[in-house]
């Protein structure tokens, strides 16, 4: 009994020490954002969460890994000239393609560079890896916006990142598709924990009820822990901001959705990451995934 208590104390001390190291070394947190169903609010979450985290003093980089349309650019009303493909081909450096957005957030335009990630030649992949490694000292948080569903590239990003945020709406089809993602996460032992955001809720209760049920099912049938980051209410400011091609966080900072995002940002910073392997770990996992 005494031994067990002592062992527990030692484990807690070790975990605290690890957290301290992460804090001191400032290893960036690498977080992918995914959803089963499309159009549930990933890109809006990524962009506005990045702004909220930046206003809380974090250096945030957003990677647009959506393989369809360049979602992040559209939401920010930007037309970046270059993207990751230019880095891969050796025409541009990472610094030259990175665009600065509101609150100083940095955006890495993905575009077709990422579609081809799975088929890169060794020298191209090395170039990409070397470039991304520079983020190790310049970012605190890397947020990765992915496409909906579980295509191979999305799975690669989910696996390579240290943390996974799943976003769903209350719609039953969206929730079912979100389970689909954690089923794969559990089956391949990708993460033991997922973070959940419920978007477009009519009130806070609806969000909490969905999160409770999701968490129970995930735990019982898939042995996955769910950390509920919060809900975002249906808010016409979001729709208006999308039309204006500006983030609602900057356009309507006092709006309901903006307050919800602020709470989510604070909650995210409160939760110590389960693992932090930094950019190096991210890159080596990504290349291992794309090699297969």
CB 102, CB 249: distance < 8 Å: yes
Binding pattern for the stretch 109-148 against ligand ATP, x by CB under 6 A and - elsewhere: ---------------------------------------x
Contact letters (x/-) for Mg ion, 28-57, by CB under 5 A?
--------------xx--------------
43 or 83, CB closer to ligand ATP?
Answer: 43
Closest CA to 204 of 264, 252, 164: 264
CA 238 to chain centre: 20
Q: At residue 147, what are phi and psi to the nearest 5 degrees?
A: -80, 165
- Taking Cα atoms as reference points, which of 146, 60, 52, 145 lies closest to residue 106? 60
* Alpha helix (H) residue ranges in the chain: 2-25, 42-55, 71-75, 84-88, 94-97, 112-115, 122-133, 152-160, 172-187, 204-222, 236-244, 248-251, 256-270, 278-291
Residue span binding ligand ATP (CB under 6 A) among the ranges 94-102, 104-112, 231-239, 261-269: 231-239
x/- letters, 166..195, toward ligand ATP (CB under 6 A): ------------------------------
Residue showing tokens 């990933």:
42
Compute the residue count for the chain.
292
If contact means CB under 5 to 8 A according to the sort of partner, which of Mg ion, ligand ATP, none does residue 73 touch?
A: none
Q: Please count the CA atoms within 13 angstroms of the CA of 52 that sit on its side-chain side.
A: 25
Does the footprint of ligand ATP cover residue 71 (CB under 6 A)? yes
Alpha helix stretches (DSSP H) within 204-255: 204-222, 236-244, 248-251
Q: Does position 77 bind ligand ATP by CB under 6 A? A: no
44 part of the interface to ligand ATP, by CB under 6 A: yes
Residue 124 or residue 147: which is nearer to Mg ion going by CB?
Answer: 147
Tokens of residue 198, six digits: 């419920």
Interacting residue with Mg ion among 32, 35, 48, 71 (CB under 5 A): 71
Considering only the stretches 40-48, 114-122, 128-136, 189-197, report the one whose residues sit in contact with ligand ATP under the rule CB under 6 A. Answer: 40-48
Q: Which is nearer to ligand ATP, 200 or 262 (CB)?
A: 200
Instruction: Verify binding: residue 40, ligand ATP, rule CB under 6 A.
Output: yes
Cβ burial, residue 32 (10 Å; 0-12/13-18/19+):
buried
Q: Interacting stretch for ligand ATP, rule CB under 6 A, among 10-18, 32-40, 81-89, 262-270?
A: 32-40
What distance in Å separates the CA atoms of residue 93 and residue 91, rounded to the nearest whole number? 7
- Closer to Mg ion by Cβ: residue 71 or 200: 71
Among 13, 121, 239, 271, binds ligand ATP (CB under 6 A): 239
Please state the closest distance from residue 39 (CB atom) to ligand ATP, in A. Answer: 4
DSSP SS3 for 287 = helix
Which of 49/283 has CB closer to Mg ion? 49
Is residue 191 at the binding interface for Mg ion, with CB under 5 A as the rule?
no
Query: What sign results for the dihedral spanned by CA atoms 12, 18, 19, 21?
Result: positive
276 is a site residue for Mg ion (CB under 5 A): no
**Binding residue for ligand ATP (CB under 6 A) from 198, 232, 264, 289?**
232
CA distance 35 to 149: 6
- Return residues touching Mg ion (CB under 5 A): 42-43, 71
């Amino acid at each position: 009994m005494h031994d067990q208590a002592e062992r527990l104390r030692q484990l807690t001390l070790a975990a605290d020490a690890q957290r301290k190291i992460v804090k001191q070394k400032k290893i960036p947190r690498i977080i992918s954002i995914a959803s089963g169903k499309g159009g549930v609010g990933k890109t809006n979450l990524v962009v506005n969460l990045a702004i909220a985290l930046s206003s809380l003093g974090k250096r945030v980089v957003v990677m647009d890994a959506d393989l369809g349309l360049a979602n992040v650019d559209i939401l920010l009303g930007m037309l970046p000239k270059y993207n990751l493909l230019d880095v891969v081909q050796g025409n541009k450096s990472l610094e030259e393609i990175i665009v600065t957005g509101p609150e100083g957030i940095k955006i890495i335009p993905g575009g077709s560079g990422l579609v081809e990630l799975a088929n890169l030649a060794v020298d191209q992949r090395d170039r990409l890896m070397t470039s991304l490694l520079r983020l190790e000292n310049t970012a605190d948080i890397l947020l990765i916006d992915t496409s909906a569903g579980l295509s191979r590239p999305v799975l690669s990003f989910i696996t390579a990142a240290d943390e996974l945020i799943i976003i769903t709406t209350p719609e039953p089809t969206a929730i079912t598709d979100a389970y689909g993602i954690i089923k794969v996460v559990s089956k391949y032992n990708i993460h033991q924990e997922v973070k959940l955001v419920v978007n477009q809720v009519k009130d806070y209760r609806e969000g909490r009820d969905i999160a409770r049920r999701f968490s129970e099912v995930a735990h019982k049938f898939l042995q996955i822990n769910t950390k509920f980051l919060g809900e975002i209410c249906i808010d016409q400011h979001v729709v208006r901001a999308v039309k204006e091609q500006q983030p609602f966080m900057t356009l309507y900072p006092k709006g309901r959705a903006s307050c919800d995002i602020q709470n989510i940002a604070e909650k995210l910073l409160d939760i110590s990451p389960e693992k932090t392997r930094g950019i190096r770990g991210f890159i080596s996992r990504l290349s291992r995934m794309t090699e297969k």
